[in-house]
Structure 1
Amino acid sequence: MSNPIERLGRVLGYRFADESLAELALTHRSCGARNNERLEFLGDSILNFVIADALFSKFPEAAEGQLSRLRARLVKGVTLAELAREMDLSEFLRLGAGELKSGGFNRKSILADAFEAIIGAIYLDAGMEPCRERILAWYQPRLDDLTLDDTRKDPKTRLQEYLQSRRAELPKYHLIKVEGEAHAQQFYIDCEVALLTTPSSGSGKSRRLAEQNAAAAALLALGVEA
């Protein structure tokens, strides 16, 4: 069987000179004091800079707020977890017994943290330019798909601003039910809006996402583009 770090290198498109950095980047705090939290801190800062720089170049006419919203979309935990899954990082994670039993390999926060830690490890291993090159390679399909249309505010914000502009009562969100196991839950939300006779509903894999979808449904019911 091949060395796991060598297999990781093929997945990442990067071969570590110091394999201990890669091992540390994959070690969750549940394993003990020697873990990936410091590398995660470093990787988070590098990622934010590289993505900000890429967006600054891609959209020369974009305002600061538009760039900030695009960056937030690309560096949020959900996106990082998606990238980690695309790389099968869960296969390489080092977790303590408790996290192993609770399905930590699939936990979004753990995957996102490991992704950032890998960035920090590459930076320490080879410097900024190889690190930048890898980040841009991993993100290229997402960067290519971005347009300034993606900078619109989220549905909850737009719904709130719409109601405020009409001096209407703010929306109320009610959790209706939660289905599924802890690692694969589905949340169901009703959004009560004073200008509508019936609540609007939404569902999602998190309460936040379900609320956003319920707000989007309310905007449609109000005749506002969601």
Structure 2
Amino acid sequence: MASLKESMRKNIAKFEQVIQYDFKDKELLQIALTHSSFANEHKCFKYNERLEFLGDSVLGLVVSDYIFNIKKNLPEGKLTIIRASVVCEESLCKIAKRIDIGKYLFLGKGEKISGGRTRTSILADATEALIAAIYLDGGYEKAKEFILFYLKDIINTYLDGDVFRDYKTILQEVVQSQNSNLSYKLVGEDGPDHNKVFKMQVKVGNEVLGIGQGKNKKEAEKEAAKDALKVMGEIK
């Protein structure tokens, strides 16, 4: 029977063929594919959370660089919105599914049983870690090549004016670029317990800029953020 490390080497080699990138440092890819649940079961293995941190920054830089150069007359606010729309969990999961990264992850037994190979957060985090691993192994240009191969069509869709979906993230990015504070507050609840409608307001600084309603607080916050972006003239 093959040892654990031998099985991991075979798994890594198969995944390299999928992504068409041959790592000089195989350990980087091993770490990128290792979830904390696996590392906790096998104490001698590192896991991918530190790489996720770096991958998020590399992804943001590549997308910023691309849209900055392709849309030379677009103002800062619009660039910020497009970047926020692209650099998100949804986009990362699209990459993850195209390369079937869930199949190659090293997960703990409990995580595997509970569906970890298809869990959105795990797939997105592992994809960020993979981006960081490619960056550390091959440099910025290799990471850029990988990211744009999978995301260029998505970026161009947003550049062509498609609807921005993650309104809370977009509003956060816009507010941060203006050095302002952002806060949400529940201002109303209507209806019976089984069919409540929640009403949230969002304030930028001390000014209420958006009101939203939804079947839960999270949905109401998104609608409030969308309303605020319209008031600020960031979306139509």
Shorter-chain TM-score: what band? 0.5 to 0.7
For residues 134-161 of structure 1, what are the alpha-carbon distances to aligned partners after superposition, in whole Å with 9 as ceiling and x for unaligned? 1111112112322263476949x8xxxx
Identity %: 36
Aligned to 1:21: 28
Q: 1:146 aligned to 2:164?
A: no
The partner residue of 1:7 within 10, 14, 17 is 14
Cα distance, 1:214 vs. partner?
Answer: 11
From 82, 86, 91, give the equivalent of 2:103: 91
The one-letter code of the counterpart of 2:23 is F
Partners of 1:64 and 1:50 in 2: CA distance:
16
In 2, Cα distance between equivalents of 1:177 and 1:6: 53
Out of 36-45 and 137-146, give the one that drifted further.
Answer: 137-146
Cα pair 1:202 1:213 within 8 Å, conserved: no
Deviation at 1:98, TM superposition (A): 2.1
Would the alpha carbon gap of residues 66 and 5 (structure 1) be closer, same or farther in structure 2, given more than 3 Å must change? same
Listed as ranges, the matches of 1:1-226 within 5 Å are: 3-32=10-39, 34-147=46-159, 149-150=161-162, 154=167, 172=188, 190=197, 208=218, 212=222
Task: For structure 1, list consecutive stretches of 5 or more residues without a partner in the other structure.
Answer: 158-169, 179-187, 194-199, 217-224
Deviation per CA, 1:167-192, whole angstroms, max 9, x where unpaired? xxx975779999xxxxxxxxx98466
Which TM-score applies when normalising by structure 1?
0.68
Describe the shift of the 1:112–1:63 C-alpha distance in structure 2 as closer, same or farther (beyond 3 A).
Answer: same
Once the two structures are superposed, residues 101-145 of structure 1 have per-residue CA deviations (whole angstroms, 9 ceiling, x without a partner) of 211111111111100100111111111111111111111211232
In 2, the alpha carbon distance for the partners of 1:177 and 1:136 equals: 47
TM-score by length of 2: 0.65
Unpaired runs of 5+ in structure 2? 1-6, 40-44, 172-185, 201-212, 227-234
How far does residue 73 in structure 1 lie from its aligned partner after superposition?
A: 1.1
- Report the CA distance shift for 1:35/1:62 in structure 2 as closer, same or farther (over 3 A): same
- C-alpha separation between the residues in 2 aligned to 1:45 and 1:136? 15
Relative to structure 1, is the Cα distance of residues 147 and 124 closer, same or farther in structure 2, using a 3 angstrom cutoff? closer
How many residues get paired?
191
Cα 1:189/1:139, change in 2 over 3 Å: farther
Contact 1:201–1:214 under 8 Å retained in 2: no
What is the distance in 1 between the residues matched to 2:12 and 2:30? 7
Contact 1:80-1:115 at 8 Å conserved across structures: yes
